[in-house]
Each structure stands twice: as structure tokens, then as C-alpha cells.
Chains A and B, each alone.
Chain A
């Protein structure tokens, strides 16, 4: 198990979870989103191979209405 912060909330995930696994768990596969891991943007092609570790900070953003 690993404790990470996802969009400011502390959550526990299985160890050896990739970003792809995290997205799957939250119904975010194939959605228009972008990911930042510890302040660094992760390109889509790396989602499957990028594994998460304890204390990682993940930000998942999307487009919302705005002027």
C-alpha cells in the first residue's frame, strides 16, 4: 500500500499502481485530462509505465466552464 495525495486529498492505493491504474479507478480513462506528478507534467504515453510511490502528489485537471 502507498499513501498519496490526489487533488489535495489523501488516499491509499495499492503498491505498484500506475497512473493508468489510478485513472481507471476514477473513471477517467479517455477523458480530456492532464496529470501533474510532484509538480511535473506527465505525458499521456507515460501513464502506463509511471508507477506511484508513497507521498507522491498527483494533480488531475480538466476543462470546466470559464470566461
Chain B
């Protein structure tokens, strides 16, 4: 989703005499602009575009070989789209988990974001740190922590047993996978949302109230539409991250369901079928890319950046 912005070439004047005079200057400007963007260009080409191109090329290579750039076949895609193949289920789980994560996060994060933007005042910084802090610990470690919390005779179950009860058997289910995703991606929804809400001028809310609007009306007519860019960015970010998530379903979900990224990982590692893995990765990239593009066209980036 990175965007490549090249410096605009100077518009050339049409008159021949003028052109003759200004061309060297214009050329100098272009070359200087190119020069200064060169490091970024190189990093983007080598670090972003090249691996993507390689994956794309692998997708059309002979299965179970490393004949990339030397063979061209659609057999990997035929395998995937074969009605007997159930790999579509892992795609469905991935997209389903991601969609559910986004919806749950939007509902959970909104009140917190509202508090951070409007209510907590000078405590907002402290509360933000509390939400950022878990990011300093590896995701896998945190997920194993939750496993210990929910496992039989673990923190929850053990404590409840001492009190004569029993913990719920939630571990290794799709539900706990969703819980893990919501937990892991909360900050990525929260902070864009805070930004979105903070961009709603307080005076507009005051003006709406002054004109007789109820709280619900203010929320629907003023606050939500104006905070929407931030909310959309949070949704996009968490969706993309959640589609690519694998640790939650493996650690918390105990592989009760296999997600698309898990299938891709299996193809690349255990099955040693790089072309198939690449084909799966390419399909997932296209789906996520298309969905993101649709969302981005609905986003007014100018307003987010305060240019309007």
C-alpha cells in the first residue's frame, strides 16, 4: 500500500525561445529531485517491489520446484481453484476473522478513544501508555500468557477450582482466536480513532448543541462523520493486519481452524511447495489489496492531513 511519489517535472513553457532558456534549469531541478529521492527509491524497489515480484513469479512456476523465471504454468492456481480443494475454507476463516475483529474492535475501541480524546484530559497520556505498553512484549509471549490464563488448571480454571467451580472451556476454539486478535490489534484501531475524534472541533459539537441537537443527533450528524477518516484508517489497518494473522489461531486456537496465512506457511515450510505458497499469497494479496483500495477511495486523505 506504499505510495510512490515522484517529483513533478516542471511544466515546460511552450515558446521555443523560452524553452531554450529554461530547459537547463528545469533539467537541473528534476535531477536534483530524483537524486534526493534515490535512497527511498532504491529501498522501495529492493525491499518492497522485488520480493513482491519474486512471489508473483513463483506463483507461476512448476509446483515443488524452484524453477522461478524459467517456467510458466497456471497449475498452482488450478490446484487452488479445484472444487475438491478445501483451501478456500482457510481464506473464508481469515477474512471472517478479520471482519469480525474489525467490527468488535470498532465497538470496543470507540468508547476508549472518545475518553482519550474528550474526557481523560491530562490522564490521556498515561492511559495511552497503558495501551501501548503490551506492544513492547512479543506477541507470541503475550498469547502464551493468555493460554496459561485459560488452560485447564491454569490461572482462571485453577482459581475457580479452588473456589469450588470450574473455568469455561474456551481454549482452542475459533472464539478464543477472535479474542486474541481483538486483544493484539486493539492499539491499531484505538489510536487512529483517537486521532479522528480529536480532529472534530469542539466548537462544532457546541454549535450543534446550541442549535438544539440531542446527544444522539450530535453523534450521528457531527461527531461520527467528522471522525470517520480516523475510524476508517483504524479499520483498514486492523483488517489488513488481522487477515495476515497466524499466531492467534495457532497458539490460542490450537489449530482448531486453519487460516490462510497458516496454509501459506505450511506450503513454504513443511510441504516445500514454494510455487503453491506463492500462488496462495498472491491471491490473498489481491483480495486484501482490492478491499483496501475500495476503502481508500471512500477516504478523504486531504481532510485527514488537514489540507482542507
Our verdict on whether A and B bind, yes or no, reads no
Q: Which residues of A contact B (CB under 8 A)?
A: none
